[in-house]
Amino acid sequence: MRTLNLTSQRQAVYDVVREAHDHPTAADVMNRLMERGYNLAYGTVYNSLRYLTDKELIRELKLGEAASRYDGRMDDHQHIICQVCGRVDEVMSEVPHDWIETVAHETGYTIAHAHVVFGGVCKECQSKRIK
């Protein structure tokens, strides 16, 4: 059993990430906290994000962007990124088992988990290109 020390600041950060559907960056979390009336230092927000990630309450996503993004959904899912606007959405399809077996055979690794990140152009950006 893991011991949690959810201070009021950590709880506030956790609530923002858990309620978000857009995989916010640390700066996004900071702005949303300010909108809710919190006045936390950037260091407190970053440390809270690290703590929550280490305790596996949220997931840090390093998606090839400069800034990490955070996901409050801990169930197994993938992500897709719009290469035009940077939007991140969830993909609920499972990674095919034969992919995992192929990678394990090719690399000699025992695969513990898989996270696939797709890239493409979202519907909104596609519609802007057509006009």
Binding-site members are 82, 85, 122, 125
The strand pair at 69-71 and 59-61 is best described as antiparallel
DSSP-assigned letters across all residues of 9-27: HHHHHHHHHHH-SS--BHH
The number of beta carbons lying within 10 Å of the beta carbon of residue 48 is 25
In sequence order, what are the beta bridge partners of 106?
none
Give the residue among 76, 77, 58 at the shortest CA–CA distance from 16: 58
Binding site residues for Zn(2+), as ranges? 82, 85, 122, 125
Residue with tokens 């950590």: 10
Distance CA 110, CA 94 (A): 18
